């Protein structure tokens, strides 16, 4: 029997701080059942770590779920690579198998910072592909997998996390800025009110990580609210 509460799938939740972690906590506090995910339980650290990226006591998505459940929330986890089509589909199917519905998708997973942060002639093609694969292709594949069940339910929300770098990119950010600009264009198109579809776009920022705050566009790829 489907869950009576809204259900959200949030990607990129493995690290102890960040938008994924804080989004999961906020949604859970609002009564939403949350499924948190990452490519590995603790996420993938940046090559040049910032404070809080590494914490030996942190168990990743398992720790996050444990904390949420102890506080009386409903939560579970799943692992997968958002840039792999089979993984994206499987994660959505796992949510549907557990709770019978998926109402909210938060595309927060981001490629770890590393070789992409260089002069353009020094950026390996592999680093470009990885950044575009996780940030842009990942949002596409996850949304592609989630939209059919949202359409069927006639209600849904998709939030894809972008960045101010999509509009004001800095030096050594070519791959990152391109991937985040792709998310903006993708989400605006997904949210376009065509035919009988209803759509909205909003911008969000994470107060828990002000130095790395990022904008997000929210889309409703469904026909009418329930």
What is the secondary structure of 147-176 as a DSSP string?
Answer: HHHHHHHT--EEEEE--GGGTS--TT-HHH
Phi and psi for 153 in degrees, rounded to 5? -80, -10
Query: Which two tokens mark 165?
Result: 């770098």
Tell me how far the alpha carbon of residue 219 is from its chain's centroid: 13
Query: What is the spatial distance between Cα 18 and Cα 58, in angstroms, rounded to a whole number?
Result: 13
Rounded to 10 degrees, what is the CA torsion of 66, 68, 72, 78? Answer: -70
Query: What is the spatial distance between Cα 32 and Cα 203, in angstroms, rounded to a whole number?
Result: 20
Query: SS3 of 78, please?
Result: strand
Out of 58, 99, 155, 176, the active site residue is 176
Let me know if 176 is a catalytic residue: yes
The answer to whether 158 and 217 have CB atoms below 8 angstroms apart is no
Q: Which residues are catalytic?
A: 176
């Amino acid at each position: 029997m489907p869950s009576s509460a809204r259900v959200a799938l949030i990607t990129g939740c493995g690290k102890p701080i960040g938008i994924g972690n804080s989004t999961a906590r906020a949604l859970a506090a609002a009564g939403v059942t949350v499924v948190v995910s990452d490519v590995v339980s603790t996420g993938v650290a940046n090559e040049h770590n910032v404070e809080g990226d590494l914490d030996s006591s942190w168990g990743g998505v398992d720790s996050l779920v444990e904390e949420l459940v102890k506080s009386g929330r409903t939560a579970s986890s799943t692992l997968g690579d958002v840039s792999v089509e089979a993984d994206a589909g499987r994660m959505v199917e796992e949510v549907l198998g557990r709770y019978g519905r998926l109402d909210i998708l938060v595309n927060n997973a981001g490629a770890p910072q590393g070789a992409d942060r260089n002069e353009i002639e020094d950026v390996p093609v592999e680093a470009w592909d990885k950044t575009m694969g996780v940030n842009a292709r990942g949002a596409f594949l996850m949304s592609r997998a989630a939209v059919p069940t949202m359409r069927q339910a006639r209600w849904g929300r998709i939030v894809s996390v972008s960045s101010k770098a999509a509009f004001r990119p800095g030096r050594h950010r070519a791959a990152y800025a391109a991937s985040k600009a792709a998310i903006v264009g993708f989400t605006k198109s997904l949210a376009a009110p065509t035919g009988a579809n209803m759509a909205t776009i909003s911008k969000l920022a994470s107060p828990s990580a002000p130095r790395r705050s990022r904008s997000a566009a929210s889309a409703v790829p469904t026909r009418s609210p329930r």
